[in-house]
Amino acid sequence: MKTVLIVDDSAYMRALIKIALTEAGYEVVGEAENGEKALSLARSLNPDMMTLDNILPDMFGIEILQQLIREKTNIRVIMISAVGQDRIVNKVKKMGAYGYIVKPFEPELLVKVVNEVSTQQAISA
């Protein structure tokens, strides 16, 4: 079973994501409401994937993505943000995110993207 870490400062969004992914057969191994906790859990749990909100109280999701890349983790990051401008989406994907979802979204879209990311070949650096 593929494991997922959920990172979002909204308890409602974390619950929505957790329900959708659990019902789709994924194991949610942790939840974080800020960047510091996200990095700590990513290091200790080493999940297969992470859903990552871009705007957190203590740092941007892009900063977390950059740190995970520097640490050479194999975590497949799916960025989730209210900002859906093409240049930002492309920038984040070039940085190493496997997927990008714009809020608000339907749970079915989340599951579709996570399913696609879980079966993608690794991105070569």
- Per-residue model confidence as pLDDT tens for the chain (125 residues): 999 999 999 999 999 999 999 999 999 999 999 999 999 999 999 999 999 999 999 999 999 999 999 999 999 999 999 888 888 888 899 999 999 999 999 999 999 999 999 998 655 43
Q: In what order do the strands lie in the sheet with 27-32?
A: 27-32, 3-7, 49-53, 76-81, 99-102
Q: Where are the domains of the chain?
A: 3-116
Which one-letter DSSP state was computed for residue 55?
B
CB 59 within 8 A of CB 86: no
118's tokens = 């879980």
Q: Under 8 Å CB-to-CB from 38, ≥6 apart: which residues?
A: 5, 7, 32, 50, 52, 56, 64
The C-alpha atoms of residue 111 and residue 106 are separated, in whole angstroms, by: 9
The C-alpha atoms of residue 65 and residue 71 are separated, in whole angstroms, by: 10
> What pLDDT is stored for residue 121 in this prediction?
64
What are φ and ψ of residue 117, in 5° steps?
Answer: -65, -40
> What pLDDT is stored for residue 85 in this prediction?
83
* Rounded (10°) angle between helices 35-45 and 61-70: 30
Task: Give the gyration radius of the chain's Cα atoms.
Answer: 13
> What pLDDT is stored for residue 50 in this prediction?
98
- What top-level class would CATH report for the domain 3-116? alpha beta
Global pTM value:
0.93
> What pLDDT is stored for residue 124 in this prediction?
40
